[in-house]
Amino acid sequence: MRLLAVFLTLTLLTFSAGMFAQTTLSSSSSAPRLEHFDPAMIDRDLNPCSDFFQYSCSKWLKANPIPSDQPGWGTFNSLALWNIAAVRETLEQAASASAKRTSVEQKVGDYYAACLEESSVNRAGLAPLEPMLDRIAKLNDKAQLPELIAYVHQRIRPANLNFIDAQYQGVFFGIYAAPDFDDAKMTLAVLDQSGMNLPSREFYLNDDDKSKQIREQYRKHVAKMLELSGEPSAQATTDAQSVLRIETALANAAMDIVLRRDPKNQNNKMTLTEVQALTPSFNWKNYLAAIHAPESPKYIIAAPDFFRGLEKLIASEPVDHWRAYLRYTALHDAAPFLSQAFLEENFNFYGRTLIGTPTMQPRARRCSFSADIDLGEAVGQAYVARYFPPQNKTRMLEMVKAIEVALDEDIESATWMSAQTKKLAHEKLSAQIDKIGYPDKWRDYSSVEVKRDDYLGNVQRASAFEINRRLAKFGQATDRQEWNMTPPTVNAYEDAQSNTINFPAGILQPPFFEAAQIDAVNFGAIGAVIGHEIIHGYDDQGRKFDAQGNLRDWWTAEDATNYDKRDECITDEYTQDVPEAGVKQNGKLSAGEDTADNGGIHIALGGLKSSLKSQGKDLDSLTKEGLTELQTFFLSYAHVWCGQLRPEAARTAVMSQGHSLGRYRINNVVANMPEFAHAFGCKAGQPMVHANACRVW
């Protein structure tokens, strides 16, 4: 699954369940407001051909400093806060007990009320987690691990499936359902690397000073959490060392973040007998029975070396070390839903140290995000009814169609592709499903028990519902209509295995999409987002999947070689230092996203051209603001990527996920485009005109 954005950390903080979930923040930003595209935000004292990011965004950045409760701030973030404020209104209404509440309102309202009731959460202290901690304390034989891990997996928020590029955030290992790489119609069980509580394996393995310093702070944080839970200080210090050693061993065994991008490296299918032979010390039958997983025809072992490493680790680490590891992980995962001391210590490391954010977000906002994570398709119904009128969906579908036509034309005119590959590329595009706004059929949460005085219990029961829902798919037909993002989400994704592109209602708001705006504004913003997601199906990894979503090589050898050469240009271009964060962006990691950005804007421009033509205009026509349509298109594109990250957040983002930072998403893209040079009169030799301009699509 490929996303539009992860680095914009409100999204990162909110949705990468477990690791950052809920470690966000206390108020400081003024009331959320919708942003609109505004040409007055251009800094006309600057030269667009020198640095288009500064030209388009410097005024915006000055007017929008990073709020103290945010790790970064950009147009994505401000829309996300506007959306969540809208969700909050609904939740507040639903929370006031009244006989007239529908069953959906009752569920989400009571969930919100339980979270908001800070004093009773504080009074309860660690008590809501005690049943899990007791189970962990009783582990006295490693043969009991399968049942215990199943018990924990059933109660911890499963990772959001959109965030598993680097590693699945879970405990010990990850389990989820995904289509068979070779026959996408069928869904199989996936067993994946996991169990590390830092954002990526590099955090454990890099040996620069900063990495060492963060590991030392992490070790202290683990000890502090254990101490808060009642361990004597000396014991907590020893246990923290065990936790760090176990997680480092998991990191050593885990697959590298770049290798993980290639689906063939994850496509290792085994029978249960073979899985058992891979890890003889862990009884899979016992685990699968305890977690109530149906049988899967095959099991995808996404990272075989990880399970080999896990086997060695189970054998070598004594049982008390495993108790320490599981105890810390349980505390960490539950911390956002526990009393102040746990909340604060968890935020201190995950919010302050890892992403440099001084303060926590207000509780009401955290509770609204939490409700969206746990009961998203219930919470989202009112949001959609209020803020996503049917005519917006119609307009979106028209834009998507126009942009798909542009890609069809682009494929047809490509000089580097054979007729045979072109034919299959067209077929893939026409088989794609375009999903806009929200699901046709809402998820039914009626079996989730929600209590008005049990926040952690509500999260655990919602998590159990979600993991059961996923595991029930083993061996079933793949559902292409399902959504992996909730309606208020400011993001979008492409899924190669279901051959779908998906745009939640949350991103179909200004400044991305605004019915009252001219086409140049909408095609530059949401149009480029649409283009980005479409191109993911044809990026360096997406191209390996066919029209049916199967991992099958449909390219002639010569076309594949031509593709790789073009891709290499992008990879080189985006490998660059990020000085303020002390890290280097790896173009091999971000290649798919960068290809999607570059190709996406190109086909969005194609869509705009055809739309203008039907109105008797062209790209050089003037708008009422005195800009050309083409200038407006590029400025609108840049506007949605205006933003900045705190250095700590930039470092964590670069090290743990595959999206380039916003300023490169603007400058590298435009510097590859002759259309940009034309729009602003840029000449060869200027920074925004790359001598070796890259172009895949």
Window of 51-59, 160-168, 552-560, 593-601 that interacts with Zn ion by CB under 5 A: 593-601
CB 78 within 8 A of CB 644: no
Structure tokens at 413: 């005119």
Residue among 2 and 59 whose Cβ is closer to Zn ion: 2
Q: How far is the CB of 210 from Zn ion (least distance, A)?
A: 28
Give the x-and-dash track for 223-262 against Zn ion (CB under 5 A).
Answer: ----------------------------------------
| 2 lies in the site for Zn ion, by CB under 5 A | yes
Q: What is the DSSP letter of 41?
A: G
Q: How far is the CB of 594 from Zn ion (least distance, A)?
A: 9
Taken in order 462, 376, 642, 599, is the CA torsion positive or negative? positive
Hey, which residues does 186 pair with through a beta bridge? 477
Q: How far is the CB of 163 from Zn ion (least distance, A)?
A: 13
Window of 305-313, 520-528, 589-597, 601-609 that interacts with Zn ion by CB under 5 A: 589-597
Residue 11: closest CA among 663, 670, 643, 664:
643
Q: How far is the CB of 609 from Zn ion (least distance, A)?
A: 23
State how far the Cα of 54 lies from the Cα of 641, in Å rounded to an integer: 11
Q: How far is the CB of 413 from Zn ion (least distance, A)?
A: 24
Residue among 76 and 204 whose Cβ is closer to Zn ion: 76
Residue among 35 and 593 whose Cβ is closer to Zn ion: 593
State how far the Cα of 640 lies from the Cα of 666, in Å rounded to an integer: 10
Q: What angle do CA 188, 429, 261 make, to 5 degrees?
A: 50
| 665 lies in the site for Zn ion, by CB under 5 A | no
Task: Report which residue's Cβ sits closest to Zn ion.
Answer: 2
Q: How far is the CB of 655 from Zn ion (least distance, A)?
A: 18
CB 528 within 8 A of CB 670: no
Residue among 105 and 593 whose Cβ is closer to Zn ion: 593
Q: How far is the CB of 495 from Zn ion (least distance, A)?
A: 11
State how far the Cα of 176 lies from the Cα of 186, in Å rounded to an integer: 14
Q: How far is the CB of 3 from Zn ion (least distance, A)?
A: 5
> Which residue is listed with tokens 């770049």?
258
Q: How many CA atoms lie within 13 A of 273 on its CB side?
A: 0
Q: How far is the CB of 680 from Zn ion (least distance, A)?
A: 26
Q: How far is the CB of 533 from Zn ion (least distance, A)?
A: 7
Window of 7-15, 163-171, 467-475, 596-604 that interacts with Zn ion by CB under 5 A: 596-604
Residue 57: closest CA among 524, 637, 511, 642:
642
Residue among 132 and 407 whose Cβ is closer to Zn ion: 407
Residue among 596 and 604 whose Cβ is closer to Zn ion: 596
Window of 26-34, 45-53, 256-264, 586-594 that interacts with Zn ion by CB under 5 A: 586-594
- With b for 16 or more beta-carbon neighbours within 10 A and e for fewer, the 471-506 pattern comes to bebbeeebebebbbbbbbbbbbbbbbbbbbbbbbbb
Residue 170: closest CA among 110, 294, 254, 94:
254
Residue among 493 and 633 whose Cβ is closer to Zn ion: 493
Window of 147-155, 227-235, 293-301, 592-600 that interacts with Zn ion by CB under 5 A: 592-600
Tell me the CA end-to-end span of the chain in Å, nearest whole number: 20
Residue among 530 and 596 whose Cβ is closer to Zn ion: 596
Give the x-and-dash track for 539-578 against Zn ion (CB under 5 A).
Answer: ----------------------------------------
Q: How far is the CB of 176 from Zn ion (least distance, A)?
A: 20
With CB under 5 A as the rule, give the number of residues binding Zn ion. 3
Tally of residues, the chain = 697
103 contact partners, CB below 8 Å, separation of at least 6: 446
Window of 2-10, 325-333, 539-547, 685-693 that interacts with Zn ion by CB under 5 A: 2-10
Window of 79-87, 520-528, 587-595, 619-627 that interacts with Zn ion by CB under 5 A: 587-595
Residue among 593 and 629 whose Cβ is closer to Zn ion: 593
Q: How far is the CB of 266 from Zn ion (least distance, A)?
A: 18
Structure tokens at 598: 């570059």
CB 377 within 8 A of CB 486: yes
Give me the amino acid identity at 351. Answer: G
Residues in 341-380 at the binding interface with Zn ion, rule: CB under 5 A = none
Residue among 532 and 609 whose Cβ is closer to Zn ion: 532
Q: How far is the CB of 190 from Zn ion (least distance, A)?
A: 21
Residue 541: closest CA among 262, 179, 163, 178:
262
Residue among 137 and 433 whose Cβ is closer to Zn ion: 433
Give the x-and-dash track for 620-639 against Zn ion (CB under 5 A).
Answer: --------------------
Phi, psi at residue 180, to the nearest 5°?
-60, 130
Residue among 494 and 629 whose Cβ is closer to Zn ion: 494
CB 520 within 8 A of CB 608: yes
Give me the amino acid identity at 234. Answer: A
DSSP of 136-187, one letter per residue? Answer: HHT--SGGGHHHHHHHHHTTSPPPPGGGTTT---SBSBEEEEEE-SS-TTBE
Structure tokens at 292: 């109530």
Question: Which residues in 55-153 belong to E strands, given as ranges?
Answer: 72-74
> Which residue is listed with tokens 């706004």?
437
Residue among 247 and 533 whose Cβ is closer to Zn ion: 533
Binding site for Zn ion (CB under 5 A): 2, 593, 596
